[in-house]
Structure 1
Amino acid sequence: MADVTTPHRRSPKSHNMMKNMFRESDDESSSSDDEDDEEDGDPRDKEGLSAVPPHADNDDTMAYTGLCHDFQVFLRQDRKKGIAHQLWPAATFLSHYLEQHVETLLPPGTSVLELGAGIGLCGLVCYKLHATSVVLTDLPVAMSLLDTNVLLNAVEPGEQIPSTKQSVRPMVLSWGNEGELAAVLATMDKSSQWVCVAADCVYWEALFEPFFHTVRALVVDHHVDVILAHVKRWKKDERFFKMCRKHMQVIQLVEDVSLELQEHTQDHHRVIKRIYRLTAKV
């Protein structure tokens, strides 16, 4: 892994927006739907981004059961605290995909970095799929719940699992913060093959650039592929992918289109979920 190259520095305005937002209280051609009207959004796409689903009155613990592997991941969420404290659909979608393609995406000896981990599902699924090392990153407000979920799965944060060489470590990483990225990179074993996973991280236009610069630093400067799951909500989401295509190879791995019940309106609406692989250009 090359030395750390300083990525984009997040502006104070962007930093404040991120703090408010998370406060505790295809291939390279466009898909056919890119010209459609904007899709229905979810709570985080509105102003006052701490909006929560209406029946999120209490903490709850759930279990993700392996789709085609024999394991469970136990997760606690606290949706009244905001978007970093709950499970979002793209995380489950990506977890299923990782299970189905574990031989190619997570071959033996692979370690995993997760961006915007939230409650940690994707990274913990990678741990259950025998990733050598897993680093779960998010903002400071997410660390307590990440620590809880790591412990729920019998893993001491930052420690090796008994009788194995695996480790799981939650770490702070604000997108666009070069110091925090450098600290994360410093913990990554250079003898291991790393892959980055991210689910539902492209959702608010103000965060496109900070997220892009973190992704670009990983892919271009450090040759870490990014597997990105995305729920298409707005036409403006494409701006992020256009930025990526200028500097990286963007490959759409899969697309799923379904009708799903919207929690807030109880109406069915079309949901488009995609998974991309971002790699360095040859």
Structure 2
Amino acid sequence: MGRGTGWAVWDASVTLAHWLQHISVEQRLQLLPPGKAFLELGSGTGIAGLSAAACLDQGYAHLSDLPSVLPALRHNVQLNPAVSSRVSVVPCDWESVGREALPAAPYALVIAADCVWLEALVQPFINALLTATGPKSKVLLAHQCRSQRVDDAFFPRLAAAFKVEPVSQRPGEPERGAIDLYLCERLE
């Protein structure tokens, strides 16, 4: 039996990392103001969060996942000494997340890659986003449609709390394939 989804590197994480590498310094500063922290929900192996920490080096990173995934995530953070001093690993179960579990909530930026593939995850993920963000917070979401039914449940709920904008392909950015990127801003 496998270890679960948190132990795989998903295409959406790689796509999110590539996009961050191809945006300008000005765009990076718009995503995350200097001295602020960002949160990655559902970090898994940490590829998206660690890449974001490298690209958004003006701030701090809090990478989160279920407790069973955290030992491997911590190990991957330690393997990246260039960013490890600015990265914290925190447990976050979307089913029961509260502000006390998120050290810097509300975050200026939340990132997430391929986190919603089952209908049962839709409302817990939305609740986690609402807990982690405040007015004007941004969410960078990499998403692959795995079920139209799930997307039909997810995107209206996301749009009820966030302005949702698709992110266009950047020059030089690798082809995204089935992955879509969205930049969302929390509504007041």
Task: Find out whether 1:224 has 2:150 as its counterpart.
Answer: no
Higher helix share: 2
Correspondent of 2:78 among 148, 151, 161: 151
3-state SS of the aligned residue for 1:112?
Answer: strand
Supply the AA of the counterpart residue of 2:47: L
3-state SS of the aligned residue for 1:175?
Answer: coil
Question: In structure 2, how many angstroms separate the alpha carbons of the residues matched to 1:227 and 1:233?
Answer: 19
Which blocks of at least 5 consecutive residues in structure 1 are unaligned? 1-24, 26-79, 162-166, 261-270
3-state SS of the aligned residue for 2:167?
Answer: strand
- What pairs with 1:225-240 in structure 2 (closer than 5 Å)? 225-236=138-149, 237-240=151-154
1:149-194, CA deviations, whole angstroms, 9 ceiling, x for partnerless residues? Answer: 011112796xxx3xxxxx2101001114233x4221xx2288xx72
Which blocks of at least 5 consecutive residues in structure 2 are unaligned? none
1:137 paired residue number? 64
Task: Find out whether 1:212 has 2:126 as its counterpart.
Answer: yes
Task: Find out whether 1:274 has 2:171 as its counterpart.
Answer: no
Question: In structure 2, how many angstroms separate the alpha carbons of the residues matched to 1:170 and 1:127?
Answer: 12
> Alpha-carbon deviation of 1:137?
0.3
- Contact map agreement 1:133 1:168 (CA 8 A) in 2: yes
1:125 paired residue number? 51
1:72 paired residue number? none
User: Under a length normalisation based on structure 1, what TM-score does the superposition of the two structures give?
Assistant: 0.57
Identity %: 28
Question: In structure 1, how many angstroms separate the alpha carbons of the residues matched to 2:169 and 2:179?
Answer: 6
- What pairs with 1:184-223 in structure 2 (closer than 5 Å)? 184=102, 187-188=103-104, 194-219=108-133, 221=134, 223=136
> Alpha-carbon deviation of 1:122?
1.2
1:172 paired residue number? 91
- What pairs with 1:48-87 in structure 2 (closer than 5 Å)? 80-87=2-9
Supply the AA of the counterpart residue of 1:247: A
CA separation of 1:234/1:189 partners in 2, compared to 1, >3 Å: closer, same or farther?
closer
- What pairs with 1:14-53 in structure 2 (closer than 5 Å)? 25=1
Figure out how many residues of one structure are paired with residues of the other and give that number: 177
> Alpha-carbon deviation of 1:222?
5.2
> Alpha-carbon deviation of 1:131?
4.0
3-state SS of the aligned residue for 1:224?
Answer: strand
Moved over 3 A (4+): none
Correspondent of 1:90 among 2, 5, 12: 12
> Alpha-carbon deviation of 1:105?
4.4
> Alpha-carbon deviation of 1:216?
2.5
3-state SS of the aligned residue for 2:142?
Answer: strand
Question: In structure 1, how many angstroms separate the alpha carbons of the residues matched to 2:117 and 2:169?
Answer: 17
Question: In structure 2, how many angstroms separate the alpha carbons of the residues matched to 1:242 and 1:123?
Answer: 26
> Alpha-carbon deviation of 1:132?
1.9
Question: In structure 1, how many angstroms separate the alpha carbons of the residues matched to 2:26 and 2:110?
Answer: 14
Supply the AA of the counterpart residue of 1:249: K
> Alpha-carbon deviation of 1:204?
0.9
Question: In structure 2, how many angstroms separate the alpha carbons of the residues matched to 1:222 and 1:137?
Answer: 21
User: Under a length normalisation based on structure 2, what TM-score does the superposition of the two structures give?
Assistant: 0.83
* CA RMSD, Structure 1 to Structure 2 (Å): 2.6
1:106 paired residue number? 28
- Contact map agreement 2:105 2:131 (CA 8 A) in 1: no
Question: In structure 2, how many angstroms separate the alpha carbons of the residues matched to 1:136 and 1:228?
Answer: 15
Supply the AA of the counterpart residue of 1:199: A
Larger CA Rg, structure 1 vs 2: 1
Question: In structure 2, how many angstroms separate the alpha carbons of the residues matched to 1:255 and 1:156?
Answer: 26
